[in-house]
Structure 1
Amino acid sequence: MAMPSQGVWGRVRERLRRFPALLANCEEQASVYGKCVASKATGHGELKKDVCAKEFQMLMECFTKAAKSNVK
């Protein structure tokens, strides 16, 4: 008998397999977010919460849109 959690792990693996394609669809937003994070890091590499919230939100909106358009 199959364990109920196998279905959950299968969905997780499928999402991880789709991640590179979603990231490719959001290359510009990912770049903007990465540059923001890199520029806002303090001397010790620490970031303050929500310092790049606007850029992160734009990236998440792109991921969401890409994921919805790539649903099988």
Structure 2
Amino acid sequence: MSGSNVWNRTREKLRRFPEVFAQCSEEATAYGKCVAATTTSKQELKKDLCAKEFAALRTCFSNAAKKTVK
């Protein structure tokens, strides 16, 4: 297995990230608002408080990444 092949695939994924992220702005905003709302003052984010929003963002990223494969 070639090490450079792994880096080439990784670089390609990183190049596509802004395009994929732009397609998921609503989900990213919802997740960010949830995180911000649940970590007011000096509270730590607790596991699964924003699980629904994170799942929606993850699904969106996955679908958007599949659409942008060249």
Q: TM-score, normalised by structure 2?
A: 0.91
Uncovered stretches (5+) of structure 2, i.e. residues with no partner: none
Q: Which has the higher contact order (CA 8 A, sep 6+)?
A: 2
Aligned length: 70
Aligned amino acid, residue 23 of structure 1: F
d(CA) in 2 for partners of 1:58, 1:46 = 22
Residue matched to 1:31: 29
RMSD: 1.4
Q: TM-score, normalised by structure 1?
A: 0.88
Runs of 4+ in 1 over 4 A off after TM superposition: none
Aligned amino acid, residue 10 of structure 2: V
Query: Percent identity among equivalent residues?
Result: 57
Residue matched to 1:59: 57
